[in-house]
Structure 1
C-alpha cells in the first residue's frame, strides 16, 4: 500500500500547524501529504513548505468550491493507492499511521473510518462538544467508536479508502452541499458492494467548533442534509433520524405542560438532564466541563432536530431546493 493523505483547508493555518506537527511525529512515515487550499484568504502555503524536510508534502491552491470538490482535486494529484482524509482541525496520535498500516496489511478493507475524541489539553468547551458528539445520550455513541451498527458509514474527518473505490465512484459527490457530502459518499460506497469498517484504534483528536453559535450552525446543517439525503436514498432512512426532532418537540411540550398544567409533566425533560449531567461528570471528572457538556448536548439535539424540520418545511411546504439537489442524483 502507498498512502496518500489528503487535507482540504480553508483559512485555518493555526489548526494546520497542529495537524502537521502530529503527522511529522508519526511512527510510520511511509506516506505523502496533499494539502488543497480551497480559496483561502489566509493561506497555509509557507507553513506547509516549512515541513517539507519532515513530511513528503505537496501544496495546491484552487478557487473556493467547498470541501467535497477540494478532496477530489487532491485525489487527482495523489500518487498513492490508498487515500486517507482528515479535517484540518484534527490531530493524529503518533501511532495512527502505524495502526492503520497494520490493520490493512492483516485484514484489508476497501473503506474504513475511525472515531474522534478530545485531548487532555483541549479547552473545556472543546471537551464538552466532544462529549456531546460522541455520547450515547446524543448520538448513540456511534461517533465515539460504537460498533453495533448494521453498516458503518465513515465520515470525512477520519476516513480512508482504496484506489478501487476511487475508480468506481470517481471520489466524492460534486455538490456544494456541506455538511453531508461524506454521508452520500459512504452510502454510494456501500451500494456499490464495497465493505466498510470502523477501526476503533485509528482515532483522531478533533478540535471542532469554538463557540456554541458555530456548533449550532454546524449541527443544524447535519440535520438539514440528513433529510435531503434520505429523500435521495430512501432505503437508508432509519426511524431514529426523527429522534432529535421528536426530542425538540417533546422537551418543549414537557416543560410547557410542567409549568402550565402540573410539574409531573416536566419529569421526562428533567430526568434526561440529570442522566446527561451524571454521565458527563462520570466521564470528564469535572463539574465545569459537565455543565458545558450538558449545554452542548441540548444544542446538539436541538440544532439537529430543528435543521431536519427546517428542511422538511422548506421542501414540502415552501417548495424550496436550497442546494439544487432535488430531482437529480449526486453522482
Structure 2
C-alpha cells in the first residue's frame, strides 16, 4: 500500500521542519511527501529541499487560495493508493503509517481519520489546549475518539482518503473554514466507508496562546453554521451546548450581582444563585481533576480549565454570531 502525504503550507517554515523530521523516522514504506506552498510570504523551499536525501519529497508553489484547494493541488500530483492529509503543526509518531495500513486492512475504510495528542515537548499552554480539544467535559470530546457523537467526520489535521474517493468526489469544495467537515459529510453521503483508526494518532500543537486559541475556536463556531447552511441535518443539539454555556454563565453572574447587591427582593433568588454556583464550581472542579489525572501535571490542569472555558465561550460566540447573520438576518 503506497501512501502520498499531502501537506498544505502557509508561512510555517519552522513547523514543516519538525513535521518532515518526524516523517524520516517512519517504520513503514513506501510513501511520498508532497508539500504545497500556498502563496506564502515566508517560503519553506530551502527546508523541504534539505530533506531530499532522506525522503521521497516533492515541493510545489501556487497562488494563495486556502488550504482546501492546496490539498486538491497535491492530490493531482500524488501517485499513491491513499492520500493522507496533515496540517503543518503536527509531529507524526514512528508507527503512524503502519497503524494506518493495518487499520485500513482491518476496517476496509475508503477514508479515515485519527485522533490527536500532546507531545512531551509541547508548551504547557499547548498541552492544556490539547486536553480541552479532546476532553469529555467539553465539546472537543465529541471529535476524533471512540466515543464520538454521531457519524465520525475525519478532520484535516489527520485525514486519509483512497484514490477512488478523490476521483469520485474531486476533493475539497470549500477552501477555508470547515472544509474538512463538508468533505467528510459528502464522502459519507456518496456511500464510502469512513471511519476512525484510533491507533493512528498524531501530536498536534494547536495554538501557542489563548488569544490565538480563542480566534481559532471562534472560527470553528462560525464554521458549524456554514455546514448547517449546506447540510441542515448536521446541526445537532450538542453543537449548541457552548451557546447554552454562555447563557448560563452570564445569567449566573447577573443573578449573583442582583443577589449580593441587594437590587432585588426575590425570595427564590438566593436558592437559584446557590444552585447555579454549585453547578459551576462542580463542573470546574471536575475539569481540573480530570485534566490533572489525564496530563499528570497540576499546572497544565489549571491551564486546561482556562482552555476549556476559552473554547466553550469562543465556539458559542462564533456559532451565535454566524447564526444571527446567516439564518436570522439571512446575509
Provide TM-score, normalisation by structure 1.
0.93
- What whole-Å deviation, never above 9, does each CA across 1:220-264 have from its counterpart, x for those lacking one? 111011012112101222111111111111111122213323341
Unmatched 5+ stretches in structure 2: 260-269
State the Cα distance separating 1:144 from its structure 2 match. 5.2
Q: How does 1:47-126 map to 2 (within 5 A)?
A: 47-126=47-126
The alignment partner of 2:121 has SS state of coil
CA distance in 2, matches of 1:123, 1:220: 22
SS of 1:58's equivalent in the other structure is strand
Which of structure 1's runs of 4+ aligned residues deviate more than 3 A? 147-150, 316-319
1:272 aligns with 2:280: no
Contact 1:27/1:98 (8 A) holds in 2: yes
Q: 2:232 aligns with which of 215, 234, 238?
A: 234
SS of the residue corresponding to residue 138 of structure 2 reads: helix
Give SS of 2:256's match. helix
Q: 1:106 to 1:273 in 2, by over 3 A?
A: closer
Structure 1 residue aligned with 2:323:
312
Structure 1 residue ranges without an equivalent (≥5): 321-331
Instruction: Work out the CA distance in 2 between the residues paired with 1:14 and 1:251.
Output: 39
Q: Partner residue of 1:188?
A: 186
Q: Is 1:299–2:310 an aligned residue pair?
A: yes
1:247 maps to: 245
d(CA) in 1 for partners of 2:200 and 2:65?
A: 29
The number of residue pairs the alignment matches comes to 318
Larger radius of gyration: 2
Q: Is the aligned partner of 1:289 residue 2:289?
A: no
Q: Which residue pairs with 2:267 in the alignment?
A: none
Deviates more, 1:32-41 or 1:258-267: 258-267
Deviation at 1:167, TM superposition (A): 1.1
SS of residue in 2 equivalent to 1:136: coil
Q: How far has the Cα of 1:140 moved from its partner? A: 5.8
- Quick one: structure 1 residues 140 and 181, their matched pair in 2 at CA, closer, same or farther if it must change by over 3 Å? closer
Note the alpha carbon deviations across 1:169-190, whole angstroms, 9 max, x for none. 10011x34x3200000000000
Note if contact 2:22-2:94 (Cα within 8 Å) is conserved in structure 1.
yes
Q: Secondary structure, in 3 states, of the residue corresponding to 1:151?
A: coil
Query: 2:165 maps to which residue?
Result: 165
Report which stretch shifted further, 272-281 or 68-77: 272-281
Which residue of structure 1 aligns with residue 177 of structure 2? 179
Aligned to 1:130: 130
Q: Separation in 2 of the partners of 1:25 and 1:146?
A: 27
Give how far 1:281 is off: 1.4
Conserved? CA contact 1:117–1:144, under 8 Å: no
Structure 2 length as normaliser, TM-score? 0.93
Distance between the aligned counterparts of 1:307 and 1:179, measured in 2?
Answer: 12
